[in-house]
Amino acid sequence: MDIYRRIEDITKPFADVCVTIGNFDGVHLGHQRLFAEVANKAYRRKGSSLAITFDPHPLRILRPGGIKLISSCDQKIEQIRLAGIDALLVVPFTLEFAATSAEHFVDEILLRRIGMKELVVGYDYAFGKGRSGNIAFLQEQGKRKGFPVTVVEAFYLGEILVSSTRIRQLVADGRVDEAQKLLGRPYQIRGEVQVGKQRGGKEVGYPTANLRVDPDDLVPKHGVYVTQVICEGKCYGGVLNIGHNPTFGGQDLVAETHIFDFNLDIYGKPIKVNLLKFLRGERKFASVEELASQIGRDVVEAKTVLANQQKELLISCTENLQS
């Protein structure tokens, strides 16, 4: 997949290109249906497919603090690549860009610069100053300027609308197994392993890989989770505690993962952690011994969950190693 980080990086129009536009936070099952539609249309035309997204998310600029994202831009790019899209334009979103009129965006960016021949959008998409570029506007522009507009309807899993808003709420509530169904993959956190207090191995008997958590990001409900850890080209099972470590009077928000059957030095190295199931809430224990005993029970329960999901986890691991 070709990636363009600025509109100006597209120096000549594409040949027979079908386009989709969106924020695509999480790249959930609904987004994946949209990508499948635009890829199918491009295939039928013997052309190419192009997705347009924005970084940062527009609400991060228009309403600072108003949204907590399911995925980073890098994660979003990885998932769009896996969806089989030929090219991706990541538009830097600024207040200046937000003032762009919908008609200017269609004329100067979609038609003149990109050379769009067809447009595919989600049922609730709108863009441009004041969100004036809604579905009705796009359909009217398509009729006037000669490009078909396909609207992909809302996607339901059972009676549940698959949406980024719904997934954010599920993650915040700790219902990561339900969020996984809407995403089509586990909810994931990632980062470089930090040097912590090193109590896990020395005092508790369960060494952990620690990731610093930004409270401005989407933070799962504090507590203990069954996890799948992707590190240095391999997948491992584990248990993660996200919270403030109250037994030791901690203040910082941190995600601490005990990785099963693992003894490598990975300080400063990147890991990915898939959250599979919420086991229990975080709480303060009366002693280190009591904490260690509970972690032992958590480990046993986590290994049972992982054994029951072995096939699904193999698929998930393969996808993560490819991205």
Contacts of 189 (CB under 8 A, 6+ apart): 211, 213, 220, 255, 272, 273, 275
Question: What is the Cβ-side half-sphere exposure of residue 185, based on CA atoms within 13 angstroms?
Answer: 25
CA distances from 17 to 41, 108, 179, 198 (A): 9, 15, 33, 53
Count of beta carbons in the 10 Å neighbourhood of residue 157 = 15
Catalytic residue among 192, 232, 256, 289: 256
- Taking the C-alpha atoms of residue 78 and residue 93, their distance in angstroms, rounded to an integer, is 20
**Could you please report the per-residue DSSP string of 230-241?**
EETTEEEEEEEE
Judge whether 124 and 155 are in contact, CB under 8 Å: no
Q: Token match 């300027």: residue? A: 145
Contacts of 299 (CB under 8 A, 6+ apart): 206, 239, 258, 260
159 has catalytic annotation: no
What is the crossing angle of helices 176-183 and 164-172, to 10°? 160
Point out the residues that are catalytic: 256
